[in-house]
Chains A and B, each alone.
Chain A
Amino acid sequence: MKRKILAALLASTMILSLVGCGGNGGAASTDSAAPTEDAAPAEDAAPADDAAAPADDAAASTSGAGELTVWCWDPAFNLNAMYEAEKVYQKDHPDFKLNVVETPWDDIQTKITTAATSGDLSTLPDIFLMQDNAFQKNVISFPDVCADLTNSGIDFSQFAAGKTAYSVIDGKNYGVPFDNGAVVACYRTDYLEQAGLTVDDFTDITFDQYLENGKKVLEATGKPLISMQAGECDLIMMMMQSAGSSLFNEDGTANIVGNDTLKTVMETYKSLKDAGVLVEVNSWDEYVGSIVSGDVAGTINGCWIMASIQTAEDQSGNWAITNMPSLVGVSGATNYSNNGGSSWAVTTNCKDQALAADFLASTFAGSTELYDNILPSGALATWAPAGDSDAYGAPSDFFGGDAVSAKIVDFSTKVPSNITGVYYYEARNAVATAITNYINGADIDAEMQTAADTVNFNMGQ
């Protein structure tokens, strides 16, 4: 009896309570609480369908009609590129529409992980932008998420090889390369002048020469040549790739202990830091701040850093770019590398994958017009034919009248490709720890061993 009353009470309070319908939240959980079911979904049905369940009509496939949902970040850059691509594609396909949802990369990663792990891919968009470094990890961890684009009619051979490699897994193409992460070395020409140097003294040089020049600049101006974020190993990874080396072997095992390139890189980094030519800062804000407020005489980073540099309008004309220094005593060392960048992926949730592929093939992998249109936003192509366009030859006043765009596209074709590795972020963090300890006086071999142990531990699940 007592139990019956209790049950009745529970049931009635559930219906009474405003959120009684919480019961059917456990679609997988309980059988209770049907009564209020239709109250809540009724009001929710409307907003839910345009986002969660995309492309109601899987009718036309290659007619070019239909709507695609895209997730990407950075309105001035990636969103702008997508809107321009929509315009280009609409010329031949007037019924085509894009629904671009601004979503930061961290959020895209969280959403993909959540959706894929819970086995509910229906919440994913048709196309999304993915950081190149995360490509291997996501395709291997969630094989159901990204559609294989190898035979989709997109010509991947026209993209820079070093760039395409990020999104190729087991010989299959999963991404359409987009923005360029070719490394540029930027210098304040007015500071260099005070030390009696020019940009030519920094072109096609080695890190030994870079260090010597850096000492001169430091002496003449009191400014270090470069600032880097402590605990992040951007520069380390750029140096590694410039020699085509990476933290992983072909077979996926960690390549840290006995990796002479890594050892040289770490030693080079420390010598720069010890000489005061390189200064470490605490955060990304401080890094950008040190550049725009003139606390350093230059930087080395992916070419997208130039957009931040150009916010220091008062320094217009005082900047120049060239290629990065090369490693000394390492086979395969070059003056070219890559940092950052992203590629477009098509999801398996896309109801009309032919349309998505055709859209990408005719825009990001087939339209010089698109690349010309997005050039003013700073978006540089990794698609070779775009680099031949006149727009890329235009001089930049900010960078001393140099045709920087054409220069960067040229750099990007020379970047050696390397193995990203599925466990890229783990290895990167482990190496960051190693370099921090090494700078503070720890033994380099022991630290490399510890880093390798950490990575192997993470891989050994």
Chain B
Amino acid sequence: MTKAKKFGMYLFLCIVSFISVFPLYWMVSAATNKSAEVISGRLVPGTYFIENLKNLLATQNIGRALGNSFKYSIILTLVSLVVCSLAGYGFEIYHDKAKDTVMSIILLAMMVPFVATMIPLFQMVSKAGWLNTTIGFILPTVSTPFLIMMFRQSARSFPHDIMEAARIDGLSELRIFFQMFMPTMRSTYAAAMTITFMNAWNSYLWPKVIMTDTTSQTMPMVVANLTEGYVTDYGMLMLAVLICTLPTAIVFFCLQNAFAEGITGAVK
């Protein structure tokens, strides 16, 4: 690659990164300013951070909300990855016409806006006594057509000769899945984990329907609480939002090497 080309590439990446990060910079700097300054468009960091933090901790139980969000999101992510990858693997590796048809039907499940299915779903969860519980939170989204399809698509590149070899060695189908597929597909799992965690963490409409108790409120619900008053404290709100954004960002940062650095060859 020529020097000029290289320079162009870096310049392009820098511009894209700047545009991506700028609003986040704004958020961080807003968290250190007074409400009136934030709303008048001040862009430089201020000295009001400690004050905002004090106010936030005084009005909202951030610790509990974070704890709830972590609990719900982690459990949902782990269960979801197992269930969906198993299903995606099943759909692809043992594919036949019937399974392809079932896959298409399953895809339909994500095409109806949640608003329409929310009320019957609420009825089911409420009757089962799962309001304000982890299981109530995770059940509707623990198995998603999206994740199943994601694993189905990536299982397509899972080499068949390895499977045959493992079968000849006498490995059971389940062990092939756990011992061969899972490690090979590390990058898919890492990407799926990032996305699922993020979706769980940010989910709002469903928790707001089934969480009727203060003690089960999640982080996005706390953020919503802050925007509802007659007076919005924008500095405090931005701090809460920042706290709400960090976990997903950290999860991404930690997992990115797993899904973006080449690991093919690990199986060989």
A interface residue numbers (CB < 8 A to B): 17-19, 21-22, 24-29, 40-41, 43-45, 47-48, 50-52, 73-77, 99, 101-107, 110-111, 114-115, 117-120, 122-123, 125, 285, 288-289, 292-293, 304-305, 307-308, 311-313, 378
Contact = CB atoms under 8 A, between A and B. Distances in A.
B118 interface: yes
Interface in B125-153: 125-133, 135-136, 138-139, 142-143
Interface string B50-75: 00000000011000000000000000
B122 interface: yes
Interface stretch (B165-173, B194-202, B228-236, B245-253): B228-236
A111 B212 contact: yes
A311 B231 contact: yes
Nearest to A107: B208
B124 A73 contact: no
A74 B230 contact: yes
Contact of A47 (B83, B216, B225): B216
B79 A76 contact: no
Contact of B129 (A22, A48, A102, A114): A48
Q: Which 4 A-B pairs have the closest CB atoms?
A: A51-B213, A293-B40, A74-B229, A104-B228
Contact of A77 (B209, B217, B229): B229
18 contacts: A17-B83, A25-B125, A28-B127, A29-B124, A44-B130, A50-B213, A52-B132, A73-B228, A102-B214, A103-B225, A104-B224, A114-B122, A117-B119, A120-B122, A289-B41, A293-B36, A305-B230, A308-B230
A26 B228 CA distance: 35
Contact of B132 (A24, A47, A107): A47
Interface of B: 35-36, 39-41, 59-60, 79, 82-83, 118-120, 122-133, 135-136, 138-139, 142-143, 205, 208-209, 212-217, 221, 224-225, 227-234
A398 B61 CA distance: 32
A285 B225 contact: no
A246 B205 CA distance: 33
A227 to B, nearest CB: 13
Contacts of A19: 79, 83, 135, 138-139, 142-143
A45 B129 contact: yes
B133 A120 contact: no
A44 B129 contact: yes
Contact of A41 (B60, B128, B216, B221): B128
A206 to B, nearest CB: 29
A84 B228 CA distance: 20
Contacts of A52: 126, 129, 131-132, 212-213
A50 B33 CA distance: 39
A308 B213 contact: no
B150 to A, nearest CB: 19
Contacts of B60: 75
B218 to A, nearest CB: 12
A378 B229 CA distance: 12
B204 to A, nearest CB: 9
A114 B209 contact: yes
Nearest to B228: A104
A19 B41 CA distance: 48
Contacts of B130: 25, 40-41, 44, 48
A28 B122 CA distance: 12
Contacts, number: 153
Nearest to A314: B36
A24 B129 CA distance: 11
A120 B123 CA distance: 7
A73 B225 contact: yes
Given A48-B132, A110-B208, A123-B131, A74 B126 contact: no
Contacts of B118: 114
A101 B79 contact: no
B35 A311 contact: yes
Contacts of B205: 110
A209 B39 CA distance: 31
A115 B128 CA distance: 14
Contact of B126 (A21, A22, A123, A312): A123
Given A101-B214, A118-B126, 8 more contacts: A21-B135, A25-B130, A44-B129, A47-B213, A52-B212, A75-B60, A102-B217, A111-B209
A22 B127 contact: no
Contacts of B131: 48, 51-52, 123
B87 to A, nearest CB: 10
B17 to A, nearest CB: 27
Contact of A285 (B125, B143, B217, B234): B234
Given A19-B142, A47-B216, A48-B131, A111 B208 contact: yes
A294 to B, nearest CB: 9
Contacts of B59: 75-76
Given A107-B208, A114-B209, A120 B126 contact: yes
A27 B208 contact: no
Given A48-B133, A74-B228, A307-B231, A25 B139 contact: yes
A84 B227 CA distance: 23
B127 to A, nearest CB: 4
A111 B229 CA distance: 19
A114 B225 contact: no
Nearest to A287: B39
A28 B124 contact: yes
A311 B60 CA distance: 20
Contact of A378 (B212, B217, B230): B230
Contacts of B122: 114-115, 118, 120
A225 to B, nearest CB: 19
A77 B230 contact: yes
B88 to A, nearest CB: 15
B135 A44 contact: yes
Contacts of B125: 25
Contacts of B123: 28, 118-120
A293 B212 CA distance: 38
A285 B38 CA distance: 10
A24 B230 contact: no
Contacts of A18: 79, 82-83
Contacts of A104: 224-225, 227-228
A293 B193 CA distance: 44
Contacts of B129: 41, 44-45, 48, 52
